[in-house]
Chain A
């Protein structure tokens, strides 16, 4: 079974703090993703990475950065947390499709981190 773990289920931080959210997957997946989930807005992609040290901006990258130093680990960084970053953060991973059809590989999700910024 694919296993994606996230470092914390619940996190409370103060405005201005630097926040690290960690995600680890054990399936040797090339792709990893960070989403945030807010009521009524569904899931929105923040960043994704298709290889070690590679990253691509998603739909809402402002205020976030990421790091992928090892294949199994993808970190989301809030350089200076703000109250509007209070949200549920979900990490996902998928294998890269080397066939002629890209985009078909299923994303497997971690349990999520509910972050509150006070």
Chain B
């Protein structure tokens, strides 16, 4: 079974629209970490955020916000007022306390922001 599921393969929006990227995870560990990465067309994965399982507080960073809900095992990512530069593939990832530094990546969501 996949530990991290990103059900949205590709999303297209028009600039200035808000968009939410979904991430659902599965783990039996009580201590775990969740991540989001951005992969622009250049190819390099850029770290966006890390969240630990004890901190369900939502986080906002500029136009980016993250909604962590343990009850639904979800860690969704919202971009407000999207811009063309947000076009990229976004990956959600999970690491577990009992599995030394092994990351489980979702299959990614490709976001197309059109002008």
Contact = CB atoms under 8 A, between A and B. Distances in A.
Contacts of B37: 109
B101 A105 contact: yes
A45 B101 CA distance: 11
Contacts, number: 68
Contact of A45 (B47, B91, B102): B102
Q: How large is the interface on B (under 10, 10 to 19, 20 to 34, 35 or more residues)?
A: 20 to 34
A38 B97 CA distance: 27
Contact of B96 (A96, A103, A106, A111): A103
B95 A111 contact: no
A42 B107 contact: yes
Given A88-B43, A112-B44, A102 B101 contact: yes
A42 B103 CA distance: 12
Nearest to B43: A112
A11 interface: no
Contact of A106 (B35, B43, B97): B35
